[in-house]
Amino acid sequence: MKTEKGHQSQQVLSERNADYSGSTTEEEKENDVSKAILVWRAVKLPIYSVALVPLTVGSAAAYFQKGIFSARRYFVLLASSVLIITWLNLSNDVYDFDTGADKNKRESVVNLTGSRTVTLLAAYSFLALGFMGLTWTSVEAGNMRSIISLACAIICGYIYQCPPFRLSYQGLGEPLCFAAFGPFASTAFYLLQGSTSQMNYLPLSGTILSASILVGFTTSLILFCSHFHQVEEDKAVGKMSPLVRLGTERGSGVVKVAVIALYFLLFAFGLIRALPFTCILLCALTLPMGKLVVRYVEDNHKDKLKIFMAKYYCVRLHALFGAALAAGLVVARAVTK
């Protein structure tokens, strides 16, 4: 009897030691990350696809509608959008540093530079420059609807993360992200490829509205998956992201439903002829990437180190799906012509 109890005690102790050594190994691995990798994470270069995709899809929709495309406007808008996204990233690091959410986040720009003030000044300098570029393009195009739409997108970004609003702490980040990058930004970029002249006037059509919904959907998925690896940190500072409320297991189920819904919407828009057949065909080719996102999150949602990469798999889906959508619109115009 004593031998049995002794054996059980040893087993429990060894299991606890295994759990402890596993968590210690994870911490050691995280601490072993090189400075170069931390800088790469801080720059978040792949995330800038969220600037490229709405602009490219919106411009492709304008080309599909009227056969017009201004390369000069496209590149001015791209540079301005990159500056706006830089503001979002830097200011997010500053305000998460203030609340303590990024206290242990080594790749935070504030932690890397050691200066909150410099990071915040740089952030708002980028915002001012980016908004100047957007305003200049809107004035040149003579389209005030577009600058109002882009201002709404920026306001969504501000109330998402900046005081006194900080709506991301209430779990409202994903709806705001959807609105900002989907209907607001994609539609504005579509309008900015046209002008006030009757020949180049672009009406709001089912095509651009459908395309903007899909762009908003894939962008929101990136944000949702970016929370998986920091659930504990968010919970500790009262940041009630959807994953803090749901947990990672149910969160992985949400990712699966979201990816299925994305392709369901795609085919639905094709059936009602809001999007041309070429868009449906080319976007359907991204299905393997969608399945990869679902499988990766399902397999790794409990592994804090591996699940960090989930958002980058979502970035790949976002970029590929957006490229396919834009290419489908351009090809459809060429075929019709």
The whole-chain average pLDDT of the chain stands at 86
Q: How far apart are CA 281 and CA 276, in angstroms?
A: 9
Lowest mean pLDDT among 96-100, 121-125, 141-145: 96-100
pLDDT, residue 17, reads 45
pLDDT, residue 31, reads 54
Q: How far apart are CA 43 and CA 50, in angstroms?
A: 14
Q: How confident is the model at residue 15 (pLDDT cuts 50, 70, 90)?
A: very low
Share of the chain above pLDDT 90, in %: 63
Question: Residues with Cβ < 8 Å from 324, sequence gap 6 or more?
Answer: 279, 282, 283, 285, 286
Q: Is residue 14's pLDDT more than 60? A: no
Q: How far apart are CA 261 and CA 210, in angstroms?
A: 14
> Which tens digits make up the pLDDT trace of 185-221?
999 999 999 865 555 677 889 999 999 999 999 999 9
- Opening angle at CA 47, ends 34 and 112, nearest 5: 35
DSSP class of residue 182 equals: I
pLDDT, residue 170, reads 92
pLDDT, residue 96, reads 84
- Helix H segments across 32-47? 35-43
> Which tens digits make up the pLDDT trace of 70-113?
999 999 999 999 999 999 999 988 888 888 776 667 777 887 88
Mean pLDDT of 315-328: 97
Which has more pLDDT, 66 or 337? Answer: 66
Q: How far apart are CA 30 and CA 308, in angstroms?
A: 11
Mean pLDDT of 277-294: 97
Question: Residues with Cβ < 8 Å from 101, sequence gap 6 or more?
Answer: 230, 233, 234, 237, 239
Ramachandran category for residue 114: left, alpha or beta (phi over 0 → left; psi -120 to 50 → alpha): left
**pTM, whole model, 2 decimals?**
0.86
